[in-house]
Chain A
Amino acid sequence: MPYESIPQFDTRGVCVSLFRDVKNIEELRSKVGTMPFAVIDASCVCCREQLFSAVYKALIEWKYNRLRTKALHSECILSLSPTSNIGEAFRRFGIKEGTRNIICLAVVGKNETQTSELFDVVDGEEVELSDENLGSMFDLEMIKKVCWPLKVFQ
């Protein structure tokens, strides 16, 4: 399983996979919150930098006991959002009706070994989490609407 590390948080690792054309979106939706990882709609993520900046932010909030949601995984989704409205963040960046491609992400302890089957519940084609693949899946109009509140874009 692809495994990323955040240098400052050396006791943790980030397991993360990108899935294309997921067939069991409805099943995953019904399980959101009970699965040990975050499920993100890939159409809202344009590059790795955007994704990992949210993970970094969530780890900071977690380390200093400032989580605004119930767990680190939901905090990663909230951290993707430019506003602090939790419901809105889940509606936009979480999976929803019409979602096809998803990112599954879990922050785990460095010594945890069970991670190889972590995302087995997902029925979809796993592809590399590269800027190129993300770039081909994301929805620019959506990102513009959500992330660019500055007057120069209006």
Chain B
Amino acid sequence: MSKEVIEQVVTYLTPNVPIVPISQGAEAFVFTTNVHPYNASACKTAGDIPVKYIIKYRPPKKYRHPSIDKTLTKHRTLSESRILAKLSQVPGLHVPKLIACDVYNGCIWIEFIGEDLPESHGFSNLKNFLWMYKTDPYNIAVEKVLFKVGEQIGLLHWNDYCHGDLTTSNLVLHQENGDWSPYLIDFGLGSASTLVEDKGVDLYVLERAIISTHSKFADKYNEWILMGFKSVYENEGKKGQQKLKDVIKRFEEVRLRGRKRSMLG
């Protein structure tokens, strides 16, 4: 990770907030810390494990004009924060809680979700979880998780939000009473949207992600996800049925466009 960016963050946070870098994406640097930004009583340990928080930092980009850069950073930071805050209030939908936001420095604090999978299978995102089951790919645990993943996306779309980057790393599994519960993370490209196109694209992006990492089992996996997705709409009566039809129809069209594009090379 860029030393310069780490120094910026350390200066900004002061030595009172020690950080550990965990990821560098195209737009943001992600760190963990054990320090809560403002509620000291929340830092107490749960069992022996200290509570962790995520800090997501969007550094200034030197190639952009400084004032444009500031405006863009502010806009994106605010947009991701607003979406997270709104989505936390949707009953049944699982997203990490937004804790704090500094739009002037492109910094947000988020609840940490997930844990390390057993036997060094890595962090508990959907990608690693599916790899963990590669010798037992149709285990009921896998089916349950994928159905719930579908439900989460169904809930998101039913409430007229789209994720914009539905990869298997952006679905994180959190253990609750021995059951894995999927959370949606990274709303950097998320939006409020009533468009079936955006929803169709979300579904297609995830379908591609499943196919590209788990091609042998992808048919069944995508079927389970879609079952979960549909179940949310089907619970919403006639209106739900109609909307579901529209989304699925568009999803199939998006998939067809994708195929044509790849045939043309």
Residues in A lying within 8 Å of B, measured CB to CB: 4-8, 10, 48-49, 52-53, 55-57, 60, 64, 66, 131, 148, 150, 152-153
Shortest 6 CB-CB contacts between residues of A and residues of B:
A7-B16, A56-B38, A52-B38, A64-B104, A49-B39, A60-B102
CA distance A38 to B82 in the complex (A): 27
| Chain B residue contacts of A131, Cβ below 8 A | 41
- Whether A10 lies near B16 (C-beta < 8 A) is yes
A6–B38 CA distance with the chains assembled, in angstroms: 5
Is A52 a contact of B91 with CB atoms below 8 Å? Answer: no
Q: A7 to B35, Cβ gap below 8 A?
A: yes
Write out the residue numbers on chain B whose beta carbons fall within 8 Å of the beta carbon of A57: 100-101
Residue among A8, A10, A53, A152 having the largest count of chain B Cβ atoms under 10 Å: A8
Interface assignment of B264: CB less than 8 Å from any CB of chain A: no
Selected from B86, B89, B91, B100, the residue in CB contact (under 8 A) with A56 is: B100
> How distant is the Cα of A91 from the Cα of B41 in the complex, in angstroms?
29
Give B contacts to A, CB under 8 Å. 12-14, 16-17, 35, 37-42, 86, 89-91, 99-102, 104, 159
Q: Which residues of B contact A8 (CB under 8 A)?
A: 12-14, 16-17, 37
| C-alpha gap A57/B100 in the complex (Å) | 8
A48 touches B41 (CB 8 A): yes
The reply to whether A152 and B159 contact each other, CB–CB distance below 8 Å, is yes
Interchain CB contact (< 8 A) of A5 among B13, B40, B41, B101: B40
Pair A48/B39 contact, Cβ less than 8 Å: yes
Chain B positions within 8 Å of A56 at CB level: 37-38, 100
**B159 to chain A: closest residue by CB:** A152
Complex Cα distance, B17 from A153, in Å, reads 37
24 contacts between A and B (CB under 8 A): A5-B40, A7-B14, A7-B16, A7-B35, A7-B37, A8-B12, A8-B13, A8-B14, A8-B16, A8-B17, A8-B37, A10-B14, A48-B39, A49-B42, A52-B38, A53-B39, A53-B99, A56-B37, A56-B100, A64-B104, A150-B86, A152-B89, A152-B90, A152-B91
- Residues of A near B38 (CB, < 8 A) are 6, 52-53, 55-56
* A79 to B: closest C-beta gap in Å: 11
A148 surroundings in chain B (CB, below 8 A): 89
What residues of chain A lie closer than 8 Å to B104, measured between beta carbons?
A: 60, 64, 66
Q: How far, in whole Å, are A64 and B70 apart by their CA atoms in the complex?
A: 13
Contact partners of A5 in chain B: CB under 8 A: 40
- Chain B nearest Cβ from A97, distance in angstroms: 31
Residues of chain A with a CB closer than 8 A to B41's CB: 48, 131
Q: Given the complex of chains A and B, what is the CA–CA distance between A8 and B39 in angstroms?
A: 12
| Distance of B249 from chain A, by nearest CB (Å) | 25
